């Protein structure tokens, strides 16, 4: 509330100060401009805030474009302190074909918090630089190969409705600082007319590859340049063998692909050097061999390009390039992948038996050892006639008290056999059984318990898998 009262008091004072001076003054550095077509200029506009407080103003110019003249303010919002001023630059640009005209643009600075506003007018006189100018320049393409033709079309426009003009048109084709070709002619352009001039240039068979610049000048009767345009095209290097130089045969076998290329100069002059390029799938990179090693190789996306440098060939002289892509490594890779896939499947999608024991301290007579066996059906099919068998050596005896499914017990001189009949196991179903044993005497060393076995009827009939044996060591 304390901050609001001073502002309200200042607003009450505004009508009294308005009798002495404007609340907002907008003053251009120049209110009359002469703007040449095809060029730009600017005016600095001063916004003075005569209000007793800092204020923020919107800044605009109307219209923003008129008769080929566009206006761009440096800022659209400006904050000015009390009894201070700020400068905003306003840019004016005239198109090359803008008509000669006298235009008025209104500048307005308006407070965003009060009704205070100020403005001014700027008169812009557009003056035509020249009645004739280069309105467009086009080429038939932007990349060329040797012996292809470059066509340049130049459009010359006369904006004046009554007078004809004869201007000089010059066009240069340059490679670096060197002029390759020059065109020079005088062109008559009638009133309100656009004339199109075509120039053609054929690249030589051995022309240097790279960027060629096209520069066009339009000169008046006094030799002054009144309009200019510039663009560039690219001449590609020779990367393909001419078809009349090449004889190519390819044979495909079970273990390899063989290609033979014969390059012969059937002309009566020395053939220039060039590159022979062959494109193959990138997978062939490690399987490639050639009678003549390629000069370079380049990976392009999913392909690999091998290039051989073909030197000068005398008339009738021939060179033979033979390369081979061996499939042996590919076949070996496929076999290895297949084997790994098979064994991974067998390991992942099969029945498993894991036998563990829990025991601490020395192996003493009548001290119980807990044995656990986990059975899991990892296959995608149901297992039938599932039977788990484990054997206990004679140095220990089974404690016939079971926490899980009790087994059938069969004793013999060599030890004790435990058998659990699970019947069926569904896919991903698992079962765990436990039992206890105790030594019949003290055992000084370690005790190894034999592996358990799991038998079941599967896809291939009766199948059996085994756990690992378990070593009980004193701790």
410 has pLDDT over 70: yes
- Asked if the model's pLDDT at residue 132 lies above 90, the reply is no
- What's the rounded mean pLDDT across residues 191-197? 94
Range with top average pLDDT, 137-141, 157-161, 347-351 = 137-141
- Across 246-259, average pLDDT: 82
Q: Which range (13-17, 351-355, 402-406, 412-416) has the least confidence?
A: 13-17
Mean pLDDT for the stretch of residues 422-448? 89
Look at residue 110 in the predicted model and tell me its pLDDT.
Answer: 96
**Residue 329 confidence (pLDDT):** 62
Q: Which pLDDT score is estimated for 328?
A: 66
Decide if 262 contacts 243 (C-beta within 8 A). no
- For the cut 60, the answer to whether the pLDDT of residue 239 exceeds it is no
Q: Convert the pLDDT of each residue in 299-339 to its tens digit.
A: 888 889 998 888 887 767 788 888 888 766 666 767 777 76
Does residue 6 have a pLDDT over 70?
Answer: no
> Which among 359, 448, 365, 374 is positioned nearest to 404, based on CA atoms?
374
State yes or no: pLDDT of 296 exceeds 60. yes
Q: Which of 2-16, 44-58, 337-351, 452-466 has the highest mean pLDDT?
A: 44-58
The per-residue pLDDT of the chain, averaged, comes to: 86
**Mean pLDDT over residues 230-259, rounded?**
77
Residues 6+ apart with CB under 8 A from 77: 56, 57, 58, 59, 112
Mean pLDDT within 21-44: 92
**332 or 28, which is more confident:** 28
Q: Which helix (H) or strand (E) holds 291?
A: none
19 token code pair: 């009798």
pLDDT, residue 26, reads 96
Q: What pLDDT sits at residue 238?
A: 59
**Is 195 in contact with 154 (CB distance < 8 Å)?**
no
Question: What domains are defined for the chain?
Answer: 4-127 (2.60.40.2310), 132-235 (2.60.40.10), 243-329 (2.60.40.1170), 351-472 (2.60.40.1530)
Q: Lowest mean pLDDT: which of 26-35, 357-366, 418-427?
A: 357-366
Lowest average pLDDT, out of 4-8, 86-90, 337-341, goes to: 4-8
Max distance between CA atoms of the chain, in angstroms, equals: 130
**Which pLDDT value is given to residue 17?**
42
Q: Are 358 and 472 in contact (CB under 8 A)?
A: no
Question: Closest by alpha carbon to 432, among 392, 404, 452, 409?
Answer: 404
User: Residue 15, SS3?
Assistant: helix
Quote the pLDDT of residue 83: 94
Pairing outcome for strands 303-310 and 194-202 = unpaired
Mean pLDDT, range 20-34, rounded to an integer: 90
The pLDDT value given to residue 14: 44
**Which of 135-144, 348-357, 368-377 is predicted least confidently?**
348-357
- What pLDDT was estimated at residue 267? 61
Mean pLDDT of 399-426: 90
Closest by alpha carbon to 71, among 32, 115, 104, 112? 104
């Amino acid at each position: 509330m304390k901050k609001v009262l001073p502002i309200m008091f200042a607003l009450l004072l505004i009508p009294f100060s308005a009798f002495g001076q404007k609340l907002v003054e907008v003053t251009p550095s120049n209110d009359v401009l002469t703007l040449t077509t095809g060029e730009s200029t600017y005016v600095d506009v001063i916004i003075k805030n005569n209000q007793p407080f800092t204020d923020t103003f919107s800044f605009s110019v109307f219209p923003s474009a008129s008769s080929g003249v566009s206006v761009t303010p440096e800022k659209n919002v400006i904050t000015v302190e009390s009894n201070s001023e700020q400068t905003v630059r306003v840019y004016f640009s005239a198109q090359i074909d803008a008509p000669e005209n006298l235009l008025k643009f209104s500048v307005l600075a308006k407070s965003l918090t009060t009704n205070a506003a100020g403005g001014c007018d700027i008169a812009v006189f557009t003056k035509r630089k020249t009645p004739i100018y280069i309105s467009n320049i086009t080429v038939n393409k932007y990349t060329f190969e040797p012996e292809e033709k470059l066509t340049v079309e130049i459009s010359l426009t006369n904006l004046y409705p009554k007078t004809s003009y004869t201007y000089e048109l010059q066009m240069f084709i340059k490679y670096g600082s060197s002029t390759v070709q020059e065109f020079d002619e005088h062109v008559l352009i009638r009133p309100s007319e656009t004339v199109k001039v075509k120039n053609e240039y054929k690249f030589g068979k051995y022309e240097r590859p790279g960027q060629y610049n096209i520069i066009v000048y339009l000169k008046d009767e006094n030799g002054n340049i009144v309009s200019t345009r510039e663009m560039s095209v690219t001449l590609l290097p020779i990367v393909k063998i001419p078809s009349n130089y090449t004889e190519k045969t390819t044979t495909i076998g079970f273990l390899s692909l063989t290609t033979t290329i014969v390059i012969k100069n059937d002309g009566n002059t020395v053939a220039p050097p060039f590159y022979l390029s062959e494109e193959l799938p990138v997978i062939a990179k490690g399987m490639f061999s050639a009678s003549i090693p390629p000069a370079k190789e380049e990976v392009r996306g999913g392909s690999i390009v091998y290039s051989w440098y073909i030197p000068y060939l005398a008339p009738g002289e021939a060179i033979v390039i033979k390369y081979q892509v061996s499939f042996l490594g590919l076949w070996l890779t496929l076999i290895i992948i297949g084997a790994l896939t098979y064994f991974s499947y067998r390991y992942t999608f099969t029945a498993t038996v894991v036998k563990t024991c829990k025991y601490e301290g020395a192996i003493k007579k009548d001290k119980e050892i807990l044995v656990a066996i986990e059975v899991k059906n990892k296959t995608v099919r149901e297992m039938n006639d599932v039977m788990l068998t484990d054997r206990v050596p004679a140095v220990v005896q089974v404690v016939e008290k079971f926490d899980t499914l009790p087994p059938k017990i069969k004793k013999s001189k060599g030890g004790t056999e435990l058998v659990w009949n699970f019947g069926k196991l569904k896919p991903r179903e698992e079962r765990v059984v436990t039992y206890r044993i105790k030594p019949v005497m003290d055992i000084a060393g370690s005790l190894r318990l034999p592996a358990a076995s799991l038998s079941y009827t599967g896809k291939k009939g009766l199948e059996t898998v085994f756990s690992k044996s378990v070593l009980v060591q004193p701790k």
